[in-house]
Amino acid sequence: MKRHGDIERFLKDASIKTCDAMNERVRGRMREVYASSTSRPPNVWKLVFESRAVRLAAAAAIVTGTGILAVHLVTARKAAPVVPPMVAKSPLGRTTALSLSLAYKRGGMEAVDRLYEKATEERGPGPTALTIEELIAEDNNL
């Protein structure tokens, strides 16, 4: 007589195999649907640009913009590469997975400790034993 545990195991272990051709067909269908899912909902801009007057205005704006851009490019001493904006580095911003990982690679756990120490120093000391009484006193300017 199979017990509950045995039945559960039997059910879980009972296996199936799948046919490669069908697998490929389903994967292909998934890829197709995923690729076509890039299309966005009706575009507001597209609706706006259906108007002839707006199209003319846009063409004028593009011509002016291109002119300004051309002047800017000519006058720029050196073309600066487009770099996405950086996030301002906060003290704790140093303690990201990547910076910790690089610190370890360069100097082991001691380097990781130093990195943390530097981040803590820059951040300043945290509360050590702030009690409810102290918080209330602070709120009441006592």
Partner 1 sequence: MRFEDRVLVWRLNRGDATALSRVYEKYRADLLRLALSLLSDRAGVEDVVQDVFVGFAGAARTFRLTGSLKSYLATCTANAARNRLKAAARRTTASLAEALDVVGTAAGPDEWAMLSEEFQQVCRAMVQLPAEQREVVTLHLYGDMPFREIAAWQKTSIKTVQSRYRYGLDKLRSALNGEVTR
Partner 2 sequence: MKTLSHAKVTHALYVVSIMSMCTPALFAYPPDNAAVLYYQASLTYDANYPMLDKVTQFIRGDIGVDEEIEAYVRRNARAIKQFVDAGASPQCDWGIDYSEGLDVMMPQYAPLRNIAKIVLAEARIAGEAGDYARALDLCLAVHKAGVHIADGGIIISHLVAISLNEMANQCLTQLIPHVRDAPDLLVELRSLILDVSGGIPSVKTAINRDLHVFGGDLRRERVGYILEMVTDFGITAERARIIRQADEAFFNANRQYFMGHLAAVLAACDLPYPQSYERLVALGEEPALESKTNPDAILAAVLAPAVDKIVCLDLKARTHFNAVGTALNLYLVRARTGRLPETLPEGMPKDLFSGKDFEYERDAAGFVLRCQAKDLAKDQTYEYRFTFK
Nearer of residues 5 and 124 to partner 2, judged by Cβ = 124
**Among partner 2, partner 1, none, residue 1 binds (CB under 5-8 Å by kind):** partner 1
Residue 65 is a binding residue for partner 2 (CB under 8 A): no
Q: How far is the CB of 94 from partner 2 (least distance, A)?
A: 8
Say how far apart CA 96 and CA 110 lie, in whole Å: 16
Report the partner that residue 129 touches, choosing among partner 1, partner 2, none (CB closer than 5 to 8 A by kind): partner 2
Interaction between residue 129 and partner 2 (CB under 8 A):
yes
Shortest distance, position 141 Cβ to partner 2, whole Å: 24
CA angle (115 as vertex; 111, 118 as ends), nearest 5: 135
Contact 115, 100 (CB under 8 A): yes
- Note the residues at the interface with partner 1 (CB under 8 A): 1-4, 7-8, 10-19, 21-23, 26-27, 29-31, 33-35, 37-38
Residue 10 contacts which entry, partner 2, partner 1, none (Cβ below 5-8 A, type-dependent): partner 1
Dihedral sign, Cα of residue 67, residue 69, residue 74, residue 75: positive
CA–CA distance, 48 with 46 (Å, rounded to integer) = 5
Which stretch of DSSP H or E encloses residue 62?
A: helix 52-75
